[in-house]
Amino acid sequence: MSTKTLEFHFDFGSPTAYLAYTQLPRIAQETGATLVWHPMLLGGVFKATGNVPPISVPAKGRWMHEDMARWARHWGVPLVMNPHFPIATLTLMRGACGLLMRQPEDFHRYVDAMFQAAWVAQRNLGDADELAAVLTAAGFDAAAFMAMVADPVVKADLIARTEASVARGAFGAPTFFVGQQMFFGQDRLDFVREALSAA
Protein backbone atom coordinates (compact mmCIF):
# COMPACT_ATOMS: atom_id res chain seq x y z
CA MET A 1 0.00 0.00 0.00
CA SER A 2 1.19 3.49 -0.85
CA THR A 3 2.20 5.72 2.05
CA LYS A 4 0.49 8.55 0.17
CA THR A 5 -3.23 8.72 0.90
CA LEU A 6 -6.15 10.60 -0.60
CA GLU A 7 -9.09 10.65 1.79
CA PHE A 8 -12.54 11.07 0.24
CA HIS A 9 -15.23 12.17 2.71
CA PHE A 10 -18.54 11.68 0.92
CA ASP A 11 -22.30 11.22 1.01
CA PHE A 12 -24.23 9.62 -1.86
CA GLY A 13 -26.75 12.45 -1.71
CA SER A 14 -24.26 14.97 -3.05
CA PRO A 15 -24.10 15.31 -6.85
CA THR A 16 -20.72 17.01 -6.55
CA ALA A 17 -19.46 14.03 -4.53
CA TYR A 18 -20.65 11.85 -7.41
CA LEU A 19 -18.68 13.98 -9.87
CA ALA A 20 -15.57 13.65 -7.69
CA TYR A 21 -16.12 9.88 -7.43
CA THR A 22 -15.87 9.60 -11.21
CA GLN A 23 -12.36 11.09 -11.13
CA LEU A 24 -10.72 10.03 -7.88
CA PRO A 25 -9.65 6.45 -8.72
CA ARG A 26 -7.80 7.74 -11.79
CA ILE A 27 -6.15 10.56 -9.84
CA ALA A 28 -5.06 8.16 -7.11
CA GLN A 29 -3.64 5.72 -9.66
CA GLU A 30 -1.79 8.40 -11.59
CA THR A 31 -0.23 9.91 -8.47
CA GLY A 32 0.55 6.59 -6.77
CA ALA A 33 -1.78 7.35 -3.86
CA THR A 34 -4.06 5.07 -1.89
CA LEU A 35 -7.69 6.21 -2.04
CA VAL A 36 -9.31 6.04 1.39
CA TRP A 37 -13.11 6.12 1.37
CA HIS A 38 -14.70 7.91 4.33
CA PRO A 39 -18.52 7.77 4.47
CA MET A 40 -20.20 10.51 6.46
CA LEU A 41 -23.77 11.75 6.88
CA LEU A 42 -24.04 15.11 5.17
CA GLY A 43 -27.10 16.08 7.20
CA GLY A 44 -25.11 15.50 10.37
CA VAL A 45 -22.22 17.56 9.02
CA PHE A 46 -24.57 20.44 8.19
CA LYS A 47 -26.15 20.28 11.64
CA ALA A 48 -22.80 20.23 13.42
CA THR A 49 -21.30 23.09 11.41
CA GLY A 50 -24.30 25.32 10.81
CA ASN A 51 -23.96 24.87 7.07
CA VAL A 52 -27.00 24.58 4.78
CA PRO A 53 -27.56 22.85 1.43
CA PRO A 54 -26.76 25.11 -1.55
CA ILE A 55 -30.30 24.65 -2.89
CA SER A 56 -31.62 26.49 0.17
CA VAL A 57 -30.43 29.66 -1.61
CA PRO A 58 -32.40 29.65 -4.89
CA ALA A 59 -29.91 31.72 -6.90
CA LYS A 60 -27.02 29.55 -5.72
CA GLY A 61 -29.00 26.41 -6.48
CA ARG A 62 -29.67 27.54 -10.06
CA TRP A 63 -26.02 28.42 -10.61
CA MET A 64 -24.81 25.17 -9.08
CA HIS A 65 -27.11 23.12 -11.30
CA GLU A 66 -25.57 24.72 -14.38
CA ASP A 67 -22.03 24.47 -13.03
CA MET A 68 -22.35 20.76 -12.27
CA ALA A 69 -23.51 20.18 -15.84
CA ARG A 70 -20.38 22.01 -17.05
CA TRP A 71 -18.16 19.75 -14.95
CA ALA A 72 -19.93 16.62 -16.20
CA ARG A 73 -19.33 17.75 -19.79
CA HIS A 74 -15.73 18.66 -18.97
CA TRP A 75 -15.01 15.16 -17.67
CA GLY A 76 -17.25 13.38 -20.16
CA VAL A 77 -19.33 11.67 -17.49
CA PRO A 78 -23.10 11.28 -17.20
CA LEU A 79 -24.96 13.37 -14.65
CA VAL A 80 -28.75 13.42 -14.47
CA MET A 81 -30.26 15.45 -11.66
CA ASN A 82 -32.42 13.23 -9.48
CA PRO A 83 -36.08 14.34 -9.26
CA HIS A 84 -36.14 12.87 -5.74
CA PHE A 85 -33.37 15.24 -4.55
CA PRO A 86 -32.66 15.91 -1.75
CA ILE A 87 -32.11 12.22 -1.08
CA ALA A 88 -32.44 10.83 2.45
CA THR A 89 -29.14 8.97 2.77
CA LEU A 90 -29.04 7.69 6.36
CA THR A 91 -29.60 4.06 5.32
CA LEU A 92 -27.26 4.40 2.33
CA MET A 93 -24.40 5.79 4.38
CA ARG A 94 -24.89 3.20 7.13
CA GLY A 95 -24.62 0.64 4.35
CA ALA A 96 -21.29 2.09 3.25
CA CYS A 97 -19.97 1.92 6.81
CA GLY A 98 -21.26 -1.61 7.35
CA LEU A 99 -19.67 -2.93 4.17
CA LEU A 100 -16.34 -1.26 4.95
CA MET A 101 -16.42 -2.96 8.35
CA ARG A 102 -17.73 -6.39 7.36
CA GLN A 103 -17.59 -6.95 3.61
CA PRO A 104 -14.86 -4.66 2.24
CA GLU A 105 -14.59 -6.81 -0.87
CA ASP A 106 -18.14 -5.69 -1.78
CA PHE A 107 -17.72 -2.02 -0.91
CA HIS A 108 -16.74 -0.67 -4.33
CA ARG A 109 -19.56 -2.54 -6.05
CA TYR A 110 -21.96 -0.93 -3.58
CA VAL A 111 -20.51 2.56 -4.08
CA ASP A 112 -20.79 2.19 -7.85
CA ALA A 113 -24.39 1.00 -7.58
CA MET A 114 -25.49 3.83 -5.26
CA PHE A 115 -23.81 6.68 -7.13
CA GLN A 116 -25.06 5.39 -10.49
CA ALA A 117 -28.58 4.88 -9.17
CA ALA A 118 -28.70 8.37 -7.66
CA TRP A 119 -27.02 10.47 -10.34
CA VAL A 120 -27.46 8.57 -13.60
CA ALA A 121 -30.56 6.39 -13.27
CA GLN A 122 -32.65 8.83 -11.15
CA ARG A 123 -33.73 6.11 -8.73
CA ASN A 124 -35.60 7.02 -5.56
CA LEU A 125 -33.16 5.59 -3.04
CA GLY A 126 -35.23 6.93 -0.15
CA ASP A 127 -37.93 4.39 -1.01
CA ALA A 128 -37.32 1.03 0.65
CA ASP A 129 -38.69 -1.06 -2.24
CA GLU A 130 -36.70 0.84 -4.84
CA LEU A 131 -33.53 0.60 -2.77
CA ALA A 132 -34.09 -3.14 -2.42
CA ALA A 133 -34.43 -3.42 -6.21
CA VAL A 134 -31.20 -1.48 -6.78
CA LEU A 135 -29.37 -3.63 -4.22
CA THR A 136 -30.66 -6.86 -5.74
CA ALA A 137 -29.67 -5.77 -9.24
CA ALA A 138 -26.16 -5.06 -7.92
CA GLY A 139 -25.90 -8.56 -6.46
CA PHE A 140 -26.68 -7.81 -2.83
CA ASP A 141 -29.10 -9.59 -0.51
CA ALA A 142 -31.49 -6.74 0.35
CA ALA A 143 -32.79 -8.37 3.54
CA ALA A 144 -29.27 -9.00 4.83
CA PHE A 145 -28.35 -5.41 3.96
CA MET A 146 -31.28 -4.01 5.96
CA ALA A 147 -30.33 -6.19 8.92
CA MET A 148 -26.76 -4.87 8.71
CA VAL A 149 -27.76 -1.19 8.66
CA ALA A 150 -30.01 -1.77 11.70
CA ASP A 151 -27.05 -3.02 13.74
CA PRO A 152 -26.20 -0.54 16.55
CA VAL A 153 -22.48 -1.05 15.85
CA VAL A 154 -22.94 0.08 12.25
CA LYS A 155 -25.09 3.03 13.31
CA ALA A 156 -22.44 4.09 15.81
CA ASP A 157 -19.73 3.81 13.16
CA LEU A 158 -21.47 6.30 10.88
CA ILE A 159 -21.90 8.72 13.78
CA ALA A 160 -18.22 8.38 14.67
CA ARG A 161 -17.11 8.85 11.07
CA THR A 162 -19.30 11.92 10.68
CA GLU A 163 -17.97 13.42 13.90
CA ALA A 164 -14.41 12.68 12.78
CA SER A 165 -15.01 14.49 9.48
CA VAL A 166 -16.34 17.53 11.30
CA ALA A 167 -13.43 17.46 13.75
CA ARG A 168 -11.02 17.52 10.79
CA GLY A 169 -12.75 20.63 9.43
CA ALA A 170 -15.29 19.23 6.96
CA PHE A 171 -18.43 21.32 6.45
CA GLY A 172 -19.83 19.65 3.34
CA ALA A 173 -19.25 17.08 0.62
CA PRO A 174 -17.10 16.24 -1.16
CA THR A 175 -14.19 16.90 1.17
CA PHE A 176 -10.68 15.58 0.53
CA PHE A 177 -7.60 15.34 2.71
CA VAL A 178 -4.05 14.92 1.51
CA GLY A 179 -2.06 14.70 4.73
CA GLN A 180 -3.24 17.67 6.77
CA GLN A 181 -4.37 19.66 3.73
CA MET A 182 -8.13 19.86 3.26
CA PHE A 183 -9.86 20.54 -0.06
CA PHE A 184 -13.58 21.02 -0.65
CA GLY A 185 -15.54 20.54 -3.85
CA GLN A 186 -15.08 18.62 -7.08
CA ASP A 187 -13.68 21.81 -8.62
CA ARG A 188 -10.60 21.53 -6.40
CA LEU A 189 -9.32 18.24 -7.79
CA ASP A 190 -6.47 19.92 -9.65
CA PHE A 191 -5.18 21.13 -6.28
CA VAL A 192 -5.71 17.64 -4.83
CA ARG A 193 -3.60 16.19 -7.63
CA GLU A 194 -0.94 18.87 -7.09
CA ALA A 195 -0.75 18.07 -3.37
CA LEU A 196 -0.46 14.34 -4.08
CA SER A 197 2.26 14.91 -6.65
CA ALA A 198 4.24 16.93 -4.12
CA ALA A 199 3.76 14.40 -1.30
Q: Residue ranges per domain, the chain?
A: 5-198
**What is the structure's pLDDT at 29?**
97
Q: How far apart are CA 8 and CA 5, in angstroms?
A: 10
How sure is the predictor about 1, in pLDDT bands with cuts at 50, 70 and 90? very low
Q: Is 197 a catalytic residue?
A: no
pLDDT exceeds 60 at position 7 = yes
Residue pLDDT, tens place only, 94-113 = 999 999 999 999 999 999 99
The pTM for the full model equals 0.96
**Do the Cβ atoms of 87 and 55 come closer than 8 Å?**
no
**Candidate CATH numbers 3.40.30.10, 3.40.50.720, 3.40.50.2300, 3.40.50.300; the one for domain 5-198:** 3.40.30.10
Q: How far apart are CA 88 and CA 93, in angstroms?
A: 10
How sure is the predictor about 55, in pLDDT bands with cuts at 50, 70 and 90? confident
**Do the Cβ atoms of 176 and 38 come closer than 8 Å?**
no
Q: How far apart are CA 95 and CA 29, in angstroms?
A: 26
pLDDT exceeds 80 at position 164 = yes
The mean pLDDT of the chain is: 96
User: In b/e form, how buried is each residue of 125-137, taking b as 16+ CB within 10 angstroms?
Assistant: bbeeeebbebbee
**What is the structure's pLDDT at 3?**
74
Q: Which of 14, 56, 165, 197 is catalytic?
A: 14
**What is the structure's pLDDT at 2?**
55
If phi > 0 it is left, if psi is from -120 to 50 it is alpha, else beta; for residue 106 that is: alpha
- Cβ–Cβ contacts within 10 Å for residue 93, how many? 25
